[in-house]
Amino acid sequence: MNIAIVNDVSMITHLLSEVIINNSHHKVIWTAENGEQAITLAKEQTPDMIIMDLIMPGIDGVETTREIMKNSPCAILIVTADMTYNADMVFTAMSHGAIDAISTPALGAVNNKEDLKEFLYKLTVIDQLLKDSHKKIVTSPPINDISSDEYNYPMVCIGASTGGPGALASILSKIPEDFQGSIVIIQHVDEKFTAGLADWLNSQCKLDVCVAESGEPPQPGKVYLAGGDQHLQLSGKLHFQYTSEPKDYAYRPSVDIFFTNAAHAWKGHKIGILLTGMGNDGANGLLSLKQSHADTIAQDEQSCAVFGMPRAAIQLDAANYIESLENIPSRLLKLVSRANREILQ
């Protein structure tokens, strides 16, 4: 990858450059010490990825991310020294299109092998995501013998990546507190930030948002966020469980894996929603849900920060509905209301 670094601390810029040049095949093509420089340089020479400082004088990392994603979009990795204190800024930057975030202290010592490994792994994952976005999508095989009347509340499966936090907050904020369905979200985000994202989403809506715990059954009226560096699934007893397989899958947690698992495991009403994101994770899974007689929704291009994931699903004819972010909540509520009426019949 061609990488750019935006940071107002020259020592950190030098450290990051040294780590990248000496330990990977990636190239650092330019650096900037503030947001204004970064916006200009990104237009002149758009890199594959930008490592973006969050707190900078003048235009901060949030606004710089917004401007770059609007005018010269690329993958943006946010770095910040204090994730807890800066949580709102981090998730706002991700809402504008930042692909992920990492804590600056993890990069504090070149000689710290674990910290070095973590940072380089993050670059590898993003590199793989960029490569996967150009791969041909393979159609999932049909799913048979799925009944739709065994469970007394619907499950809503939502997948999101780049731009996801803002899209999720927009949808959840319009869901009433008496919502009669269980919502499970697979959002691509570093495991260190999952709890913070759940708290942030919790502050944006009337529903209870929490990280899905292994062994816990999904309940109606609650929102569960996949956590950790593993894939979320439903067990045979319909409790959440995490698995490391497939280990070499770039998306962790994977939307495809949960969607496909839910298509098989959840015998009642299902609704699949695929939101903004880079790459194609979730396209095959949404198709599996559609083939299991679920209602499926893909976010439209105009309202996406990055249209990659919904585009891939639409190309597979996996979406029953293609909706703007603004219209998704009303569509979801109508589908859930219809499902609950059918359950009572």
Q: In whole angstroms, give the CA distance from residue 164 to residue 172.
A: 12
Q: In whole angstroms, give the CA distance from residue 253 to residue 218.
A: 17
| Identity at 261, one-letter amino acid code | N
- Read off the tokens for 317: 């004819």
* Buried-state track 286-299, b at ≥16 Cβ within 10 A, e below 16: bbbbbbbebbbbbb
Catalytic residue check, 182: no
Q: In whole angstroms, give the CA distance from residue 258 to residue 273.
A: 12
Stated as kind and residue range, the H or E segment containing 75 is strand 75-80
Catalytic site residue from 95, 140, 182, 188: 188
Catalytic residue check, 239: no
| Identity at 344, one-letter amino acid code | L
- Terminal C-alpha separation, the chain: 56
Q: In whole angstroms, give the CA distance from residue 75 to residue 308.
A: 12
* Contacts for 337-341: CB closer than 8 Å, 24+ residues apart: 339/154, 339/181, 339/269, 339/271, 340/153, 340/154, 340/180, 340/181
Q: In whole angstroms, give the CA distance from residue 320 to residue 297.
A: 6
Tokens 């009337």 -> residue: 206
Q: In whole angstroms, give the CA distance from residue 75 to residue 192.
A: 19
Catalytic site residue from 161, 182, 254, 292: 161
Catalytic residue check, 133: no
Catalytic site residue from 281, 288, 295, 300: 281
Q: Which residues are catalytic?
A: 161, 188, 281
